[in-house]
Chain A
Amino acid sequence: MLTAPQLSYSLLAPILIVLGGALLGVLVEAVMKKGSRAAIQTAIAIGTLVLSFAYLIKIHAQTSKTAAVSSVSIDGVGIFIQGTILLLSLIAILYIADTDNFAAQASAVPGSEEERTAVLAGKQQTEVFPLTLFAISGMLLFPIASDLITLFVALEVLSLPLYLLAGLSRRRRLLSQEAALKYFLLGAFSSAFFLFGAAFLYGYSGSVTLDGIATAISINSGNDVFLLIGIVFLSVGLLFKIGAVPFHSWTPDVYQGAPTPITGFMAACTKIAAMGATLRIFYVGFGQAEWQWKPIILTIAILTMVVGGVAAIAQRDVKRMLAFSSIAHAGFLLAAVLALNTDGLKGALFYLATYGFTTLGAFGVITLVRDSSGEVTDLNRWVGLGKKSPLVASVFTLFLLSFAGIPLTSGFIAKFSLFTGAYETGNTVIVVVGVLTSAITAFFYLRVVVMLFFTDPKSDSVSVVIPSIMTRAAIAICAIVTIVLGVAPSLLLNTAQTFATFIR
């Protein structure tokens, strides 16, 4: 007789709560009066995330457990990453709540008669909230999934809503829709690789769990060719999501085309979730085969840092520049995969959290700089912004300095602790390249600072809109976190230290 599997609902509750919130959002979309939808959706999304986070705190001490028949592992890293994703999603929701950025109807041309009729008729749709919540639920599952099937399901759950979200931009609809299509096609392509890799690994080990693969590697039982191809193919799926070279090509186009709040959400949360999964797979699953995969991860890490850093220099669009900068950061983060020790893990966790806040803050500022036709992302038109809106320019500068890793911002401590971890296990090459690329990236961040403050403004009509209270709060939180974690990093470093453990 079949026995029903034990699911340990309490450990899965953070994910289930978010899924429940998303379903509730769908219902609201279907039955509520149009005028009140946006407010209700915002409230549901925020409430869901807060509730989920509260539940996460409740279970955070019960780490080192598996749930759902060992297909997910609730351990330190998993909890930390989930918590980070939830907090960052909260901030992203605050941006998203500023619905001005989203198309009233995905098919309407901005400013057109159709759109105006749609708004007047109350046909403005708010499906962006449930979509975001669905994506978040996938992101919460991805970093704790401990078998390949669950990993794939999580990957798809987080990806599919993102493809749609990328196409929702209210302005420059064509660019946005093109971005969505590209993201979808390439995402599907990489998913195929991922699935193919999973098949090879099953062929190698006869198991789909990370634990089973690790055991197979340690007793060296299977066909090495299957293992190697499996590792490479599986990595492609993950590296695609974190935006590592040469699987990064989608990043600049999609970051540019997607609505800016969604770009921020993707840049922060997707990268964190994917990085969490990558760390788990390589630490838990492939840890024993490090001599096989280290050369390729090293190559990719170096390529990613260099290409991200160098390509960012030639960018004239602030969103594209940040896209390449996020690619470079993905390269830095891969150093933690190479480190394979607790210090590297601690550094990665700290890095992910600080990078997330800084990224969201930076994209938040981008939503504020506009002209009559919407956001202005052309860097040449940002010139002299420091004279027009010193506060906004200063906050943006703060985020850029943190990206560049200047001391007294969180970015410095993050890079420092990450590279320390990698150096300890003898990965000198990556540390040297990392520091050198940091210098290159500092160049283009500082170039923007110079443009903002030391060049006279041109007389065209870029203006900084007064943000809604929610956007204001979100940017302020990001700025405060960036400074506080730069001045007193131990507040989070100690937490990261205690959470830097995987179970098998």
Chain B
Amino acid sequence: MTTSTHLVYLIALPLVSSAILLLLGRIADKWGHIVATLVSASTFAIAAIEFFQMRSRSGDARAATQNLFTWISVGSFDVHASLLLDQLSICFVLLITGVGTLIHIYSIAYMSHDHDRRRFFAYLNLFVAAMLLLVLGDSYLNLYVGWEGVGLASYLLIGFWNQKPTYAVAAKKAFVANRVGDIGLSLAIMIAFAQFGSVSFTGVEAGVPHASTGALTALGAMLLLAAAGKSAQFPLQSWLGDAMAGPTPVSALIHAATMVTAGVYLITRSHFVFDASPTAQTMVLIVGGITLLFGALVGTAKDDIKKALAASTMSQIGYMILATGLGPVGYAFAIMHLLTHGFFKAGMFLGAGSVMHGMNDEVNMRRYGAIGKVMPITAVTFGLGYLAIIGVPPFAGFYSKDKIIETAFNAGGTKGILVGGAALLGAAITAFYMTRVIVLTFTGTKRWDDEAHPHESPSLMWIPMVVLAVGSVASGFLFNSGHALVNWLAPVVNAAGEHDAKEFLPPLTISLMALGVVSVGVAIAILKYRSNVAVEAPEDVSILTKIVRRDLLQDDFNDRVLVRPGQALTKFFVAMDNTFIDGIVRGVGGVIAVSSTNLRKIQNGYVRSYALIMVIGVLALIATIWMVTL
């Protein structure tokens, strides 16, 4: 461990900047966005310096800590507000600050017509600060502060245009779904405290070997619930699609590249819990597997380009969660996919934003078509992201996704075939719906009406897209060459240096299988959407399509199973509260109020009665003491 004194600036800079922008108000309108962007860029610079310093250190000295202050100290329970920057967190810090800065730059142009741009940038900086705290905290409690902070920032940004009631509702939905996950995290913290007497990562890790399996499984399950809430995983996935109500840069930063991957971070960070509890690990696998298929299926029926991308995000995070469920070997691949996904998905969201910017905020892909000709840069950068996500070599997604599919098959036995098969099937569906997006948007015939005048976006917008596209092309190769990322992360997530037990199939065979199913998916999509796309979504479709269009009935399910019984229960409790509990409280309150009024009468303002009260008091005291001592 090395001690550092600079880590705090990573969080303090954006936090202070956010506060300044919010507190100064309109005065900061002219220059607020520039300050916010510069602050974000400087956090990236700090992160880069920290990264190179970390690389120059060796072995155990790579992780750096900074103790800020003792937060809580009660008896033997100490929580320090401390930061930890190790090989795992630096990956996130670089991603958050790097992609974050690009999106700040993009937003300068994207939000230039919005008169609340300053507030937008203040929230963005708030988000960056909270997210950095989330990945830099050295205990679950510190992480929790950041966890709630990003939740708040996400809520504020989804509902940024809250003058539209539907957007405000979307923000609320995201907030509520996240609350469920947050309860999971707070319960996990309580379990950790009760079991290990500590809530720091090292403290819990040290306690794991002595804990009972039941406790570990409970802890793992609660952490998984937390991860599911934040990362839009089954069964708490329903909020992500609606979260697209936020401005597109927000979708790119928060709901694609960074915040939604916090669940993956949480599970990877807590690897010692899951490694010690096979049951919890299996739950992780199941959740990841279901979500990756669920998201992919939902993505096939979305006509809203942002919602299609959101479904895809859900599915790709499913891949990551699945990978974390595969044990020590999987964590590094989960992080690798998380990082490559950060590049290509953020890039595609920015591309979608660019298209919307040129098309009067139209999001329906059925009204796009042939946009590639008028927006060449957007089309090319989006296309590179597309090639990356469907996993065409040598683009980034190929390396990361292939590794996950391979490791899944290598898990062995029925389990291996099931999760491997799910991952492979997911790859095929991904290829289908992403090709659909590309074909509907950029190729084919023009379906927009004459009022739209699509044009290439300004350079402030396309430069970040180009940078992210470069990442989508090259990052996978870089991470994978010489197992760079796997070796880098090994001290944190795979200290024992575990390998796959045995190879289910040779890696080349699996790669070829994956490429095979991907080309099938691509081919079907091209054939289906090449021509004759209706501007309105057809109504005479099979019941299956209808179900998929309704997000596989997730909202209907939530409504029937959770919302309505919940409301009934609430009504019951309200009635109970009004009659029974309030009755008691009013009774007590009444008694107190009456005695209070009586007490007031003693307070009559006469010095003589006050003095008398004192004398009586003295006599009573002497009488008391007399009785006690006799």
A interface list, Cβ under 8 A from B:
181-182, 185-186, 189-190, 193, 224, 228-229, 231-233, 235-236, 240, 245-247, 249-250, 252-253, 291-293, 295-296, 299-300, 307, 310-315, 420, 440, 443, 488, 490-491, 493-494
Q: B603–A252 contact, CB under 8 A?
A: yes
Besides A229-B622, A291-B628, A295-B625, 13 more A-B contacts (Cβ < 8 Å) are A181-B607, A224-B629, A228-B626, A232-B625, A235-B621, A300-B621, A310-B599, A313-B593, A314-B593, A314-B600, A490-B71, A494-B70, A494-B73
Q: B621–A313 contact, CB under 8 A?
A: no
Asked if B614 is at the interface of the complex by the 8 Å CB criterion, the answer is yes
In the complex with contacts A295-B625, A311-B603, A186-B611 CB distance below 8 A: yes
In the complex with contacts A224-B629, A293-B625, A246-B593 CB distance below 8 A: no
- Nearest 4 interchain pairs by C-beta: A246-B617, A249-B610, A314-B596, A490-B70
In the complex, what residue of chain B is closest to A424 when comparing beta carbons? B75
Asked if B613 is at the interface of the complex by the 8 Å CB criterion, the answer is yes
| Per-position 1/0 for B360-401, Cβ under 8 A of A | 000000000000000000000000000000000000000000
Q: Is the interface of B mostly helix, strand, loop or mixed?
A: helix
Q: Is the interface of A mostly helix, strand, loop or mixed?
A: helix
Q: For A246, A295, A315, which residue has the most chain B Cβ atoms within 10 angstroms?
A: A246
Q: B610–A250 contact, CB under 8 A?
A: yes
Asked if B69 is at the interface of the complex by the 8 Å CB criterion, the answer is yes
In the complex with contacts A182-B607, A310-B595, A488-B618 CB distance below 8 A: no
Contacts of B597 in A (CB 8 A): 314
Q: How many angstroms between the C-alpha atoms of A253 and B81 in the bound complex?
A: 46
Our pick among A186, A229, A311, A443 for the contact of B614 (Cβ within 8 Å) is A186
Q: A193–B618 contact, CB under 8 A?
A: yes
Our pick among B592, B593, B618 for the contact of A232 (Cβ within 8 Å) is B618
Q: How many angstroms between the C-alpha atoms of A313 and B613 in the bound complex?
A: 21
Asked if B497 is at the interface of the complex by the 8 Å CB criterion, the answer is no
Q: B73–A232 contact, CB under 8 A?
A: no
Q: How many angstroms between the C-alpha atoms of A186 and B615 in the bound complex?
A: 11
Asked if B209 is at the interface of the complex by the 8 Å CB criterion, the answer is no
Q: How far is the CB of A490 from chain B (nearest CB, A)?
A: 4
Q: A189–B614 contact, CB under 8 A?
A: yes
Q: How far is the CB of B258 from chain A (nearest CB, A)?
A: 26
Asked if B509 is at the interface of the complex by the 8 Å CB criterion, the answer is no
Listed A/B pairs (29) with beta-carbon separation below 8 Å: A186-B611, A186-B614, A189-B611, A190-B614, A224-B629, A228-B622, A229-B622, A232-B622, A235-B621, A246-B614, A249-B603, A249-B613, A249-B614, A250-B610, A292-B628, A295-B628, A296-B621, A296-B624, A296-B628, A299-B621, A307-B599, A310-B592, A311-B596, A313-B592, A313-B593, A488-B71, A490-B69, A490-B71, A494-B70
Contacts of B628 in A (CB 8 A): 291-292, 295-296
Contacts of B589 in A (CB 8 A): 443
Which residues 574-617 of B sit at the A interface, judged by CB distance below 8 A?
589, 592-593, 595-597, 599-600, 602-603, 605, 607, 609-611, 613-614, 616-617
Q: For B595, B621, B626, which residue has the most chain A Cβ atoms within 10 angstroms?
A: B621
Contacts of A494 in B (CB 8 A): 70, 73
In the complex with contacts A232-B618, A249-B603, A313-B610 CB distance below 8 A: no
Contacts of B73 in A (CB 8 A): 490, 493-494
Contacts of B69 in A (CB 8 A): 488, 490-491
In the complex, what residue of chain A is closest to B604 when comparing beta carbons? A249
In the complex, what residue of chain A is closest to B597 when comparing beta carbons? A314
Contacts of B626 in A (CB 8 A): 228
Contacts of A491 in B (CB 8 A): 69
Q: B70–A228 contact, CB under 8 A?
A: no
Contacts of B609 in A (CB 8 A): 249
In the complex, what residue of chain A is closest to B601 when comparing beta carbons? A314
Q: How many angstroms between the C-alpha atoms of A292 and B70 in the bound complex?
A: 40
Which residues 471-511 of B sit at the A interface, judged by CB distance below 8 A?
none
Contacts of B74 in A (CB 8 A): 420
Contacts of A232 in B (CB 8 A): 618, 621-622, 625
Q: A311–B600 contact, CB under 8 A?
A: yes
Q: A228–B629 contact, CB under 8 A?
A: yes
